[in-house]
Amino acid sequence: MPGPLGALAFFAVENPISAALFSPASYLRGFALDLPLPALSPGVPAVANLTTTVVLSDASTAQEDRALAGPTALLDISASVGFSSDNQSGNPSISIEGLSPGLRGPLTVGSGIALDAQGTPPTAWAVRSALPGAADPTNGKYPGDKKGSLILDGVLLPELFLRTEVRDLVGSRIGLRTPLATTQPQPPLVLQPPSVPFVVAPLPGSTTANSAYDVTFLDTLPSAPGLYRVTLTDANRRRWVLWAPDTNAAPTYTISLPNIGAVGGEPLGAGTVLAAVSAYAWPNLDLSAFAFSELERRTEVVLNSGPVAFTQP
């Protein structure tokens, strides 16, 4: 069965060594976008080529197409519990995302960088970002200024997000997708991701009593409503996905696996089980009327716990 439609974005950047040396024109040199890409079929490789001859900072490039400054911010993860700052997986990932009709996930339309790391290990960075004029959701900045061509042509919806994300080597991920409309006026904009919703029971290395048990994890969403996804995977890669609405603030959240074997169902296989938790939330999320396809497109938090291993008899 073919997969969803795709898109491919290209950014040519020149990274500065400090935030003081950052400028949109010197950082974002080129941009190209190809969409929609045909849906892929399992086992069938595909190739997509992008070509651009436009240098965004060149004097011959129209002002409407040149690189623009994205939000300036401080990313601070010092208060995020459960994230292994000692084992970070590279530098934070910074980008600007938008939504394109027909695409299942967000579309990257701008690039960013985390600079001037603070602390040992680093827990804070200066965030700088830029986007091409084609993705500009605003107008009126100067006489004759218009919104970007991608906005005017309906390829890109006008609400953009600054995505800031940090990962560690145990599989945890914390971050935010901040609407650009809420980043003004600036500075200062301080971004503090929530803590990791890591599993606290069953304990790592423990054995459950049977195949029907409780999974308890930290309730870290800063405000309700939100939605948690608990993924349990057995040694044969068979998995269960359980969804849990978060309607009130509490230290922990518990979700129960049903005794599916008692009604003729098949539980996960005996042996090692990996449990991981993801979270989704945005201000006007209606838990009684949402589509699962909205989650990756609209969430304003980026939260995934690293897997916890235990044994199920």
Q: What is the pLDDT of residue 152?
A: 96
Going from the C-alpha of 303 to that of each of 119, 126, 215, 262, 282, the distances in angstroms are 22, 21, 17, 34, 13
Q: What is the pLDDT of residue 249?
A: 75
Mean predicted confidence (pLDDT) in 53-72? 91
Residue 21 has pLDDT above 70, yes or no: yes
Q: What is the pLDDT of residue 43?
A: 82
Question: Is the domain of 307 the same as that of 213?
Answer: yes
pLDDT digit string, tens, across residues 179-234: 998 766 666 789 999 999 999 999 999 999 999 999 999 999 987 689 999 999 99
Domain containing residue 227: CATH number? 2.60.40
Question: Is the domain of 133 the same as that of 270?
Answer: no
Could you tell me what percent of the chain has a pLDDT over 70? 97
Q: Which residues contact 307 (CB under 8 A, 6 or more apart)?
A: 171, 233, 274, 275, 276
Note whether residue 290 is domain-resident.
yes
pLDDT digit string, tens, across residues 22-35: 999 999 999 999 98
Smallest CA-to-CA distance from 183 within 112, 99, 239, 82 is with 112
Phi, psi angles (nearest 5°) of residue 69: -70, 135
**Which has more confidence, 107 or 142?**
107
**Which has more confidence, 135 or 188?**
135
Mean predicted confidence (pLDDT) in 87-114? 94
Q: What is the pLDDT of residue 86?
A: 83
Mean predicted confidence (pLDDT) in 112-125? 95
Note whether residue 26 is domain-resident.
yes
Going from the C-alpha of 177 to that of each of 106, 164, 254, 280, 297, the distances in angstroms are 11, 7, 26, 11, 10
Q: Are 134 and 150 in contact (CB under 8 A)?
A: yes
Residue 254 CB neighbours (<10 A)? 13
Instruction: Please name the helix (run of DSSP H) or strand (run of DSSP E) that holds residue 298, with its range, or none.
Output: helix 295-298
Dist CA 25 CA 14 (whole Å): 10
Question: Is the domain of 13 the same as that of 36?
Answer: yes
pLDDT digit string, tens, across residues 298-311: 999 999 999 999 99
Q: Are 193 and 301 in contact (CB under 8 A)?
A: yes
- 199-201 β-sheet, strand order: 199-201, 214-218, 252-256
Instruction: Please name the helix (run of DSSP H) or strand (run of DSSP E) that holds residue 151, with its range, or none.
Output: helix 149-152
Q: Are 218 and 198 in contact (CB under 8 A)?
A: yes
Structural domains of the chain, count: 2
Q: What is the domain extent for residue 251?
A: 199-312
Question: Is the domain of 174 the same as that of 214?
Answer: no
Angle at 252 between CA 248 and CA 256, to 5 degrees: 95
Q: Is the dihedral of CA 118, 122, 125, 131 positive or negative?
A: positive
Question: Is the domain of 109 the same as that of 217?
Answer: no
Tokens standing for residue 236: 């044969």
Note whether residue 124 is domain-resident.
yes
Query: Peptide bond before 36: cis, by omega within 30 degrees of 0?
Result: yes
Mean predicted confidence (pLDDT) in 135-147? 92
Tokens standing for residue 223: 């405000």
Could you tell me what percent of the chain has a pLDDT over 90? 73
Average pLDDT, the chain: 92
Question: Is the domain of 11 the same as that of 129?
Answer: yes
Bridge-partner residues for 94, per DSSP? 164
pLDDT digit string, tens, across residues 239-288: 999 999 987 778 999 999 999 888 888 999 999 999 999 999 999 899 98
Q: What is the pLDDT of residue 185?
A: 60
**Which has more confidence, 174 or 5?**
174
Mean predicted confidence (pLDDT) in 149-155? 95
Residue 110 has pLDDT above 90, yes or no: yes
Residue 313 has pLDDT above 70, yes or no: yes
Mean predicted confidence (pLDDT) in 163-184? 91
Q: What is the pLDDT of residue 186?
A: 60
Question: Is the domain of 181 the same as that of 295?
Answer: no
